[in-house]
Amino acid sequence: MFICCALCFKLVESILINKPCGEPTINEYNRTKSLMDETRRKMVNILAADMTEKNGTSPPRQLKAKYVRGIVTLFPYLSDPFSKNGYMIPILLSNKDIKVLEGWLSYFIWSKRKPRLKMAKLQMTGDEVGLDVPNVRLYQLASHLRVISEWFKGVPASVWFDIESSQSKCPLWNLLFVKDYKSVRDHCTNPITLIAVKAWRSTRTMEGRHSLTSPLTPIIGGPDFIPGCQDRGFRL
């Protein structure tokens, strides 16, 4: 494990040292034990460009993990202290996982006694005579939707926007309007991006809007909206 981390460390360090903006990044971290958002974005861009240049636009997951491990080894203060490897991959919890978490919450609230109210009731707001118990499903969807909002805005300070965009054949927000989820993979293979798309689709299903089209959607002929150019349904 130590040898693996050392190799990842050397990989990322050598890439940054040989790039114009790379060495100032290392110097900033050594001086402040942190990195400004702009510096982080530059670092991610450098490493993403190196990865895709050497391994194509769809590098294997093991290689991505190698780069990420190199980052958290070279910049340990940026690592996540609550994860085993120092970094976390956002996931979408299954219904089974959510049920288990809600079971733990109920177990805590009722102090091992039989629940008197259903979790759905407890999750209502105080105005609705609930207890404002966190809704795990909504919390995780909100965390993904916050990232999706950056797809529309094109936030330049976003750390991950550039690297996700570089691994998509079309603008990220276009992925949300592809009718068939399987077709999304034809435009993007980044697993984190695909999880965010799943969260978007799950949210629309929960709200009963999965079959509706936004009136703001560019219907046809927009070069930035790939489905409108390829899917005949938009021409009806």
Domain range annotation of the chain: 2-78, 95-134, 137-235
Residue 224 has pLDDT above 70, yes or no: no
- Given the structure tokens 């077709």, which residue do they identify? 183
C-alpha span between 52 and 88 (Å, rounded): 21
Confidence (pLDDT) at 86: 46
* Residue 47 near residue 12 (C-beta atoms within 8 A): yes
Phi-psi region of 164 (alpha: psi -120 to 50; beta: other; left: phi over 0): alpha
- pLDDT class of 156 with cuts at 50, 70, 90: low
User: How do residues 93-149 score in pLDDT, each as one tens digit?
Assistant: 788 888 888 888 888 888 878 877 787 777 787 777 677 787 888 888 888 888 788
Confidence (pLDDT) at 37: 67
> Average per-residue pLDDT in the chain?
75
Confidence (pLDDT) at 183: 80
Residues of the chain with pLDDT > 90, as a percent, come to 0
Beta bridge partners of residue 168, listed in sequence order? 188
Residue 225 has pLDDT above 70, yes or no: no
Residue 2 has pLDDT above 50, yes or no: no
Query: What is the average per-residue pLDDT within 198-223?
Result: 71
